[in-house]
Structure 1
Amino acid sequence: MEHKLKDIIGIFNRTFEQEYNTKLVKGGEEPLYVPANDRVPYHAIYFARGFYSSALHEIAHWLVAGKERRKLEEFGYWYEPDGRSAQRQREFEKVEVKPQAIEWILATAAGFRYFASSDNLDGNPGDTQPFKQAVYEQVKIYAEKGLPKRAEKLRQALADFYGTPNYIDLKQFDVTRI
């Protein structure tokens, strides 16, 4: 299955632009979320380097962010660049569990391969297995209790577009393959 950027951009924008004044935009080297301002009248999710996986990841962060956080650049979160210590890496992973669980669910709905991201290329991420297991456990919670409203809406749109099952099938999630 081919995954074109124009498809994910179109699916996202059709699903959310009208109601949330938010657009998915192909960005440059680094991803960025910028709320509407006096130069750009819409909220923009810029994903990095034209990567489909980056689009899914940045969308997942937007889907986790609440209404007040969506008013802030980068949702008001800190970001510590590559080269994090093991302790800082564990702290980073704690805030990544929900977005990456949603990203994995969206990727699966799109028939796209998901890889857990430690996002610490210049540092030693340490043992990533506990993080991957935590992401999987969160997927199981979402499968049982349901996704947040916006995430579910996008999951359904992706499943419809790509012709994948329109439900979260836990048999499609294997923590040893991420």
Structure 2
Amino acid sequence: MHQLQPQPEVTTSLQFNTGLTSEQSEKTASVQRLQWTDLKTEVQQVDWLILHFNQWFSHLNVVLVRGDFEPEYFPSIDQAPARIQFAHGFFNSALHEISHWSIAGEKRRLLSDLGYWYAPDGRTAEQQTLFEQVEVKPQAIEWLFSNAFGRKFQVSLDNLTGDGGNGTTFKDNVYAQVQRYLAGESKLPRDAKHLIECICACIRSGKTLQSDEFRREMLD
């Protein structure tokens, strides 16, 4: 069985406090000292994720940031890093936006919102089918991220006021895609694989994700 192998050397220390205020530096230092198992609130977990993601992907000139409103991706401009902005400080929103970013190729990462088409809540059945086709891989990757963190994953049909159906087929497809990634039948995107490796190294003592950790009934 194919496994997602962690990198043997993943450091969790950071050396990029230059330019931070004393208050920000103190907050960063306090997060650095915390182990994942010591985090008691979602706010602390989000702080941890932001700090470590921005370290692990600093070589790609991208940062993960909280947003007050809806999620959005902003490409790099004038040497400033690209921004993956997630909604309202929610941990699950951060993982979802990272999953979309991890799938996007270099050309899409030059476009606002990664150049994705999006129809708002209230989609017709036909529009919802198209939405779900685009969302299978990102949500499969988000499930991998969530399990690596030991968090519950829930699929999102994102169509509360439209014709979203019961989601059974979509859940089947997300589950099948996760199994294809774990079996090596589908190639996991480079940056998704790197993030999973880093999470597993920091949180799971290097233990890789296994296919039996993912069961179809977990999505119901």
TM normalised by structure 1 equals 0.93
Instruction: Say whether 1:59 aligns with 2:98.
Output: yes
CA distance in 1, matches of 2:156, 2:106: 25
Q: Measure, in 2, the Cα distance between the counterparts of 1:78 and 1:170.
A: 32
Instruction: Name the aligned partner's letter for residue 156 of structure 1.
Output: E
How far did residue 86 of structure 1 move? 1.1
Other-structure match for 1:33: 73
Please list every run of 5 or more consecutive structure 2 residues that lacks an aligned counterpart in the other structure: 1-36
Percent of pairs with identical residues: 41
Distance 1:114 1:24 in 2: 20
1:169 aligned to 2:210?
yes
Q: Could you tell me which amino acid in structure 2 is paired with residue 35 of structure 1?
A: P
The answer to whether residue 116 in structure 2 is matched with residue 98 in structure 1 is no
Root-mean-square deviation (Å): 1.5
The one-letter amino acid of 1:107's match is S
Asked which structure has the greater RCO (Cα within 8 Å, sep 6+), the reply is 2
Using the size of structure 2 for normalisation, the TM-score is 0.76
Task: Output one character per residue of 1:93-113: Cα deviation in whole Å (capped at 9) or x when no partner.
Answer: 000011111100011111111
Q: Structure 1 counterpart of 2:182, which letter?
A: A
Aligned AA for 2:83? A
Counterpart CA distance in 2 for 1:171 and 1:131 is 20
CA distance in 1, matches of 2:158, 2:205: 28
Which deviations, in whole Å up to 9, do the C-alpha atoms of 1:100-146 show, x marking residues without a partner?
Answer: 11100011111111101101122231030111111111111110115
Tell me the distance in 2 between the aligned counterparts of 1:164 and 1:83: 43
Deviation (angstroms), 1:37: 1.7
Change (3 A) 1:101 1:165: farther
What amino acid is aligned across from residue 80 of structure 1 in structure 2? A
Identify unmatched segments of 5+ residues in structure 1: none
Contact 1:36 1:43 in 2 (8 A): yes
Structure 1 residue corresponding to 2:192, chosen from 151, 157, 163: 151
Aligned CA distance change for structure 1 residues 175 and 165 (closer, same or farther; 3 Å): farther
Amino acid at match of 1:134: N
Following superposition, the deviation at residue 172 of structure 1 comes to 1.1
Find the aligned partners of 1:115 and 1:159 in 2 and give their Cα distance.
Answer: 20
Runs of 4 or more above 6 Å deviation: none
Paired residue type of 1:130: T
Q: Which of these residues, 100, 108, 113, is aligned with residue 69 of structure 1?
A: 108
Counterpart-to-counterpart distance in 2, 1:130 and 1:115: 14
What is the CA distance between 1:6 and its match in structure 2?
0.7
* Higher gyration radius (CA): 2
What is the alpha-carbon distance in structure 2 between the residues aligned to residue 149 and residue 27 of structure 1?
Answer: 26
User: Shift of residue 175 of structure 1?
Assistant: 1.9
CA drift at 1:63: 0.3
Counterparts of 2:202 and 2:72, CA distance in 1:
26
> Equivalents in 2 of 1:127, 1:176: separation in Å?
14
Q: Given the alignment of the two structures, is residue 87 of structure 1 paired with residue 126 of structure 2, yes or no?
A: yes
